[in-house]
Amino acid sequence: MAKKGQTTIIGFLLITAIALVIVASTFFFAIPLIDKTKNQDEVARMENRMIETHAAIKKVANEQTQMTVPFSIRKGILTLADNNTLIYQANMLLPISYNRLLIGNDTSEVGTLGVDEPGFLLERASVEMRLHYIVLKDNSSKCYGIELKPGGQVTAGIGDHFVFFKWVGEDNSAIPGCTSAVRQIIEMSIT
């Protein structure tokens, strides 16, 4: 009789051990997939934030006003580069490397007024999004554009932030290949 009780306990322990191995291996293989899915969701969220930011910058330039855009960063950094480009960068584990144009027709520095966007949003690698503003030229070679200038802190890391855009004037300085030029100067700061 004592032997029958030991068999029951050993059987129970074996079944428990097998169940634990199955659960552990499932988590071992599932966690990276869950992380990749979370990262893909974060990329999609940041794509939307960058598109909304582009719309706000265009509105501020067109209406010569100011606007605040909420910007929540869960991974990576947001910064204004010297070359009229707003950059979001994060090192995320993704199933594919991105290399696509989200806004704009191409990545040239000069576009056609009324046809092209005043900037382009390029998404690449794992993940880098560049919102860059270009010069738009009309049929008579008059050029128009948006120029981003730092107005305070222009870099932000993880956390909830507000990006403040303010129209501060126009720049009529010459642009090579243009008969005249008007650039809307937008000051940007992050709090």
Per domain, the residue ranges of the chain are 2-190
Structure tokens at 167: 């129209």
Q: Are 147 and 173 in contact (CB under 8 A)?
A: no
Position 3 scores a pLDDT of 63
What is the C-alpha to C-alpha distance for residues 22 and 90, in angstroms, rounded to an integer? 34
Residue written as token pair 């910064």: 79
Position 136 scores a pLDDT of 93
Contacts of residue 25, Cβ cutoff 8 Å, sequence gap at least 6 = none
Give the three-class secondary structure for 115. Answer: coil
Q: Per-residue DSSP letters for 147-187?
A: EEEE-S--EE-SEEEEEEEEEEEEE----TT-SEEEEEEEE
**H-state helical runs in the chain:** 2-63
Q: What is the pLDDT along the chain (191 residues), one digit of tens a residue?
A: 456 667 788 888 899 999 999 999 888 888 888 888 888 888 899 999 999 999 999 999 999 999 999 999 999 999 999 888 999 999 887 767 677 888 887 788 888 888 888 888 888 877 889 999 999 999 998 999 999 999 999 999 999 999 999 999 999 999 888 999 999 999 999 99
Specify whether the backbone of 177 is left (phi greater than 0), alpha (psi in -120 to 50) or beta. left
What is the C-alpha to C-alpha distance for residues 40 and 33, in angstroms, rounded to an integer? 11
